[in-house]
Amino acid sequence: MGRYIIRRLLQAIPVLLGTTLLIFTIVFALPGDPIAALAGEKRQAPNIVAILREQYHLNDPLLVQYWHYISGVLFRGDFGVNFSDVPVSQIMQGKFQVTLNLALTALIMEALIGVGLGLWAALRRGKATDTAILASTLLLISVPTLVSGFVLQLILGVKLKLWTGLDIFPIAGITNGFRSYLLPGFVLAGVSIAYLTRLTRTSLAETLRADFIRTATAKGLPRRRVVGRHALRNALIPLVTFLGADLGNLMGGAVITERIFNLPGIGNQLFYSVYTREQPVVVGIVTILVLVYILANLVVDLLYAVLDPRIRYE
C-alpha cells in the first residue's frame, strides 16, 4: 500500500506540471499589460513601469517566468505575490476555507440525496415513483445554475421568510454560520445530484440482476440485507469515483454560486482576479484546485480496496 501511494504521488507531479504550465501559458498570453492596469486610467512613469516589470519577471521568456513560479510552489510552498506585492497564499487563506465548506456541504447533500433517490428509483424501477424521479433529475440538469440559484434565492430565501417570519435559508454572506451554506450548497450540487441519482439507479439495477444477488435471495436472506450489504456495496465503486472527482468540480465550479450568494470564497476571488488581470492569483487558485483533484483521486483509489476486497495494491 505504501509503495502504491508513493507511486501515485510521483505520477501526480507530471500532472501538476502539465496543468499549471497550460493555465500559466493561457493566463499570461492574454492581451494587455497588467502593470499598466495597476494605475487605472492614470499614466505611469516609464522608469517605474520598467522597475515593476523587472521585479515581477515580466521581461523574461514565458518558460523562465513559469520556472520562477513552479520552483517556489514545489520547493518552498510559495505561490508568489500579486502585482500589489501581497502574497497569493495570504489572499487565498480565508477564502479557501469558505469554498471548501461550500463544496463539502454540496458533496454531502449530493451523496445523501443522490444515492437515496437513486436507491429508491432502482427498487421501484418502471413504476410511477421511478418515472417522477427521472423527470425531476432531467429538470435539474436542464436548468442552468444561474437560473436555479436566483429562483431558490427568491422562493426559499425571501418568500419563505415573509410567509413564516423565519430566516431559515440566508441568501447572502456567511454571517449565519452553517445555515449560510445550505441554500448555495444545494444550488451548487443540483446538477451533480441529478447525475448521481441516475448513476446510482443504473448501477444498483444492474447489480440487483447479478447471480450472487439471486443466490443471496434464494438462501432466504432478508431483502434489506440483500440490498444494503450485498447489492449497494458492490454498486458503490462507480458512485465513489464520481463523488471523488466531483469534489474538485464543485470547488472549481463555485464561481457562479459564490457570485449569486455573495460568498467570499476563491471562486469569487477568481472572478475578480480575472477581471483585474491579476495573473499570479489566477494561477495560484488553479494550482490549489489541481492539488485538490489529485488528492481526491488518490483517496478514491484507496477506497476501492475497502469496498471491494478483491482489489489489491502491489
pLDDT of residue 112: 92
Contacts 24+ apart (CB under 8 A), 270-279: 273/82, 276/37, 277/30, 277/32, 277/34, 277/37, 278/34, 278/82, 278/83, 279/27, 279/28, 279/30, 279/34
**C-alpha count within 13 angstroms, C-beta hemisphere, residue 141:** 11
Residue 81 phi/psi, 5-degree rounding, is -130, 155
Q: Whole-prediction pTM value? A: 0.81
Residues 310 and 305: their CA atoms lie apart, in Å, by 7
pLDDT of residue 40: 61
pLDDT of residue 194: 92
Contacts 24+ apart (CB under 8 A), 155-163: 156/183, 157/183
pLDDT of residue 311: 64
Per-domain boundaries in the chain? 20-78, 96-307
Specify which residues 81 forms β-bridges with: 87
| pLDDT per residue of the chain (314 residues) written in tens, 0 to 9 | 677 777 777 878 888 888 888 888 887 777 666 666 665 666 666 777 777 777 777 777 888 888 888 888 888 888 878 777 788 888 888 788 888 899 999 999 999 999 889 888 888 888 888 889 989 999 888 888 888 888 888 888 888 877 877 777 888 778 777 888 888 999 998 889 999 999 988 888 888 777 777 777 787 777 777 777 777 777 788 888 888 888 888 887 788 888 888 888 888 888 888 777 787 888 888 888 888 888 888 888 777 767 666 666 55
Residues 258 and 83: their CA atoms lie apart, in Å, by 24
Given a contact cutoff of 8 angstroms between Cβ atoms, the answer to whether 237 and 308 are in contact is yes
Alpha helices (runs of H) in the chain, residue ranges in sequence order: 2-28, 34-38, 46-55, 62-76, 88-123, 128-142, 145-152, 160-164, 182-208, 211-218, 223-225, 232-252, 254-261, 266-275, 279-307
Tally of residues, the chain: 314
Query: What DSSP line would sit under 46-79, residue for residue?
Result: HHHHHHHHHHTTTTS-HHHHHHHHHHHHHHH---
Give me the CATH topology for the region 96-307.
MetI-like fold (1.10.3720)
pLDDT of residue 56: 73
Region for 78 from its dihedrals, namely left if φ exceeds 0, alpha if ψ lies in -120 to 50, beta otherwise: beta
pLDDT in tens, 172-204: 778 777 888 888 999 998 889 999 999 988 888
Query: 216 in helix, strand or coil?
Result: helix
Residues 64 and 237: their CA atoms lie apart, in Å, by 43
**C-alpha count within 13 angstroms, C-beta hemisphere, residue 216:** 18
- Cell 466531483 sits at which residue? 246
